[in-house]
Amino acid sequence: MIAHVLLPIPVDHPFDFAVGDDVAEQISVGKSVVVRFHGSERAGVVLSLTEDSNQPGELEPVLEVKPDPSFTSSSLAVCLDTAVHYLSPAGLFVNRLLPSKASSHRERYLRPVGKLDEITANIQTLSKRAPRQAEVLRALLARGDACAEGTLKRELKTSASVINRLIDLALIREVPVGPASPSPALAERPAVKAQGETHRHMLLFSRLRMDEYVRAIKEAHLNGESTLILEPEILIARAVLANLQRLLTIPISIYHSALPEGERGRVWNDVARGEARIVVGTRSAIFLPFSQLGLVIVDEEQDRSYKQDEMIPHYHARDMVARKTDIQAIFGSSAPSIETFYRAQQGEMALTRVPIQQTSTRIVDMKQEKGPLSEPLIDAITETLSAGRRILIGVNARGYFQAVLCKKCGQPLRCPNCGANLTYDVRSAQLVCRVCGTTQPRMACPNCGARSLRFVGVGSERIEQIMRERFPNATIARIDRTSLASKGALARAEGAIDGAAQIIVATPLATKGPVIPGLGLAAATGLDAILARPDFRAAERTYQYLTGLFGRLDAGGATMIQTSYPDHYAIAAATNGDYDLLYNREIAERKAMFYPPFSHLARIIVPHTRNSDRLLNILNKCKVQIIGPAPHPRQRARDVVLIKGKDREAVREACAQVSNDITGAVEIDIDPERL
């Protein structure tokens, strides 16, 4: 028997290896195996098994079949289709996606022991000598069903030792949780009626969406189907998990890149065995090996974090769900993408819309102000703190400044390694790249060598410093990708959001999601950098950013916007809760300029010189419009070409032709979110 194995190398075909009798009973399609390739041992994924090989000579043997996690045939097919659609080598993708190991640790589900009067008596006894134990027992009694240990720890801020002591005292017990079976008690209320109920897909256009999500999850569970809830950021995923665990008695798992490898592998295995029937996850969770997936919820569907920008394939999780016509899908948002709302308007999906209440917002014209924070904002923060309420300050970017410019050549300083903008790190007093981590050894322009630099824009670190200087007695937390990189940072950020911080300074990864308790002021700073981007989605992104920020506000709170464009229609639409104003302006402009939803896009990046001419020769033979080539904004010696096509497949075929005909460092991004 011959195994066709996908190896983690940038080639488009598998390699053949002989399957000996020692591994024949263990091997199957989707399994991870160890083979010897070019003199070294490599792990790979079995694509198929056959009796014959077309490769000449004696084949190397499969050395080992690794224990699960592994792909099911259907989940492997999804990955292969994704790699083909986005023109990526499948071996790199599937080997990166599959967890390398699985932990044996499992979440414990706990329940109180005894009858109601016995449990009540135990609570009264413990309240005097062990109040923390009494608190845990009271919480379990209130739930009326088994509760995850992690939920108890998170909600009660308790420890495993408190829970273990209750188990030792036989006051609570661990209950087995296997594949969740439907219960008639889960059915509560009829589904929300939406336009076009025959559609399997729905846009839920509402600020408050959790009730409808819970109803749909219960309905899928009653039908014996699994549910995947996608969230754009890990912080939001963890918050949604906590909410669902309070609202549902069904076991819920979470899956994202920050989990330890073994924990990711355990969830993967649980999904494959049908033991994890409800999963909250970020974009990579779409590749989990569900066998009976009936419902996918794409929350904050407008968020560009659903697009994989960092590595190939550059897939878009939301768009992958949109193409799954055999399952029910809910796309939830308080500020939908123009493309998704257009689909709903065209009758391609159902629409449920709940009007968003107008927000009373103060707009500060920054042309009249000095510095990154206006005096009206400082005054509003002072008043909010005096009233005992909390503040969220949204900042567009992390770092101290958003960019460093050379006064001599006028160019922004770019990382020589990856081409991203360098930023100034105030702690090390160095220029650093936030993308690849490269440190610039000299405070000088890498392009011309000049040491005369200009620092522009405002980042989250700078706002945090100003807050600490102006409000030294306030507890202040900064939440951005830099602050979340350290161990335990996610828990600290959740604590800050839950109430540990009076002032939260956050980039867009934390300026969306559920309401923040006690929040009295939500303020947007650095907004102009979004509006000024050379991107046809700039106005849409501005509206979505503001709507997400305002959505975190508690009842009776105030909002403030700092901008040099106070009359811009995107700002007016956000402050008035008028999505139709934004949509009508945007849809007219996009139709005139042939941008999505009226076209499909791809971005192609090639090395400069002759490759640009070759690229144009190829594309001129395809049924696409061509914009460019233009110099890459961040990478010297590279050119960018944007292509548009009315048909998605025509764009993909043009990209495939480029990939086949131009060798070397060609980067192709189909349906890009960043231009």
Residues pairing with 626 in the sheet: 643
Q: What is the pLDDT of residue 565?
A: 87
Q: What is the pLDDT of residue 183?
A: 43
Q: Which CATH number fits domain 361-402+457-589: 3.30.365.10, 3.30.450.40, 3.90.1150.10, 3.40.50.300?
A: 3.40.50.300
Q: What is the pLDDT of residue 233?
A: 93
Per-residue pLDDT band at 184 (split at 50, 70, 90): very low
Per-residue pLDDT band at 196 (split at 50, 70, 90): very low
Residues pairing with 667 in the sheet: 605
Residues pairing with 645 in the sheet: 600
pLDDT tens digits, one per residue of 43-84: 999 999 999 888 888 899 999 999 999 999 999 999 999 999
The runs of H, that is alpha helices, within 86-170 are 90-97, 116-129, 131-143, 149-156, 160-168
Q: What is the pLDDT of residue 632?
A: 74
With DSSP H G I counted as helix, E B as strand and the rest as coil, what are the percentages for the chain, rounded to 5? Answer: 35, 25, 40
The residue among 176 and 239 whose pLDDT is bigger is 239
Q: Under a CB-based contact definition with an 8 Å cutoff, are residues 254 and 279 in contact?
A: yes
Q: What is the pLDDT of residue 307?
A: 95
Q: What is the pLDDT of residue 402?
A: 60
pLDDT tens digits, one per residue of 301-356: 999 999 998 888 999 999 999 998 889 999 999 999 999 999 999 999 999 999 87
pLDDT tens digits, one per residue of 9-30: 988 899 999 999 999 999 999 9
Which segments of 338-441 are extended strands (E)?
350-353, 361-365, 390-395, 403-406, 422-425, 430-433, 439-440
Note whether 361-402+457-589 and 600-670 share their fold.
no
Least confident of 61-65, 195-199, 362-366: 195-199
Report the candidate in 89, 90, 88 with the shortest Cα–Cα distance to residue 30: 90
Report the CATH architecture of 193-235+254-353: 3-Layer(aba) Sandwich (3.40)
The residue among 640 and 320 whose pLDDT is bigger is 320
Cα–Cα distances in angstroms (integers) from residue 45 to residues 15, 48, 56, in the given order: 10, 9, 22
| pTM as predicted | 0.84
- 215's tokens: 């109803």
Q: Under a CB-based contact definition with an 8 Å cutoff, are residues 155 and 242 in contact?
A: yes
pLDDT tens digits, one per residue of 615-628: 888 888 889 999 88
Report the candidate in 331, 273, 338 with the shortest Cα–Cα distance to residue 306: 331
- Return the SS3 of 228: strand
Q: What is the average per-residue pLDDT within 146-162?
A: 81
Distance from C-alpha of 474 to C-alpha of 496, rounded to nearest angstrom: 12
Least confident of 37-41, 274-278, 428-432, 464-468: 428-432
Per-residue pLDDT band at 198 (split at 50, 70, 90): low
The residue among 299 and 420 whose pLDDT is bigger is 299
Judged against a pLDDT cut of 60, whether residue 186 lies above it is answered with no
Judged against a pLDDT cut of 50, whether residue 604 lies above it is answered with yes
- Return the SS3 of 639: strand
Main-chain phi, psi angles of 559, to 5 degrees: -125, 150
Instruction: Provide the 10 A C-beta neighbour count for residue 306.
Output: 24
DSSP 8-class letter at 659? H
Parallel, antiparallel, or unpaired: how do β-strands 2-6 and 40-50 relate?
A: antiparallel
Domain ranges of the chain: 2-97, 109-175, 193-235+254-353, 361-402+457-589, 600-670
Q: Which CATH number fits domain 600-670: 3.30.160.100, 3.30.70.1710, 2.130.10.10, 3.40.190.10?
A: 3.30.70.1710
pLDDT tens digits, one per residue of 536-588: 999 999 999 999 999 888 877 899 999 888 999 999 999 998 999 999 999 99
pLDDT tens digits, one per residue of 386-435: 999 999 999 987 766 666 667 666 566 666 665 566 776 666 667 777 66
Q: What is the pLDDT of residue 188?
A: 42
Judged against a pLDDT cut of 70, whether residue 653 lies above it is answered with yes
Judged against a pLDDT cut of 70, whether residue 590 lies above it is answered with yes
Burial of 407 (0-12, 13-18, 19+ CB in 10 A): exposed
Q: Under a CB-based contact definition with an 8 Å cutoff, are residues 537 and 337 in contact?
A: no
pLDDT tens digits, one per residue of 83-109: 999 999 999 999 999 999 998 777 788
The residue among 195 and 96 whose pLDDT is bigger is 96
Start-to-end CA distance of the chain, whole Å, equals 48
Number of residues that make up the chain:
675
CA trace torsion 408, 411, 414, 418 (10° rounding):
-140
Report the candidate in 352, 396, 380 with the shortest Cα–Cα distance to residue 201: 352
pLDDT tens digits, one per residue of 244-281: 988 887 889 999 998 999 999 999 999 999 989 999 99
Select the highest-mean-pLDDT range: 275-289, 489-503, 514-528.
Answer: 275-289
Residues pairing with 400 in the sheet: none
Q: Mark 22-51 as b/e (b = at least 16 C-beta within 10 Å).
A: ebeeebebbbbbbbebeeeebbbbbbeeee
Determine which helix (DSSP H) or strand (DSSP E) holds 661, and give its type and residue range: helix 648-661
Q: What is the average per-residue pLDDT within 131-152?
A: 82
The runs of H, that is alpha helices, within 471-622 are 489-495, 528-531, 538-551, 569-576, 579-593, 610-619
Per-residue pLDDT band at 41 (split at 50, 70, 90): very high
Judged against a pLDDT cut of 90, whether residue 499 lies above it is answered with no
Judged against a pLDDT cut of 60, whether residue 190 lies above it is answered with no
**Average pLDDT, whole number, for the chain?**
86
- 13's tokens: 């075909």
Cis peptide before 69 (omega within 30 of 0): yes
Judged against a pLDDT cut of 60, whether residue 602 lies above it is answered with yes
Q: What is the pLDDT of residue 137?
A: 87
Q: What is the average per-residue pLDDT within 282-290?
A: 96
Determine which helix (DSSP H) or strand (DSSP E) holds 471, and give its type and residue range: none
Report the CATH architecture of 2-97: 3-Layer(aba) Sandwich (3.40)
The residue among 425 and 603 whose pLDDT is bigger is 603
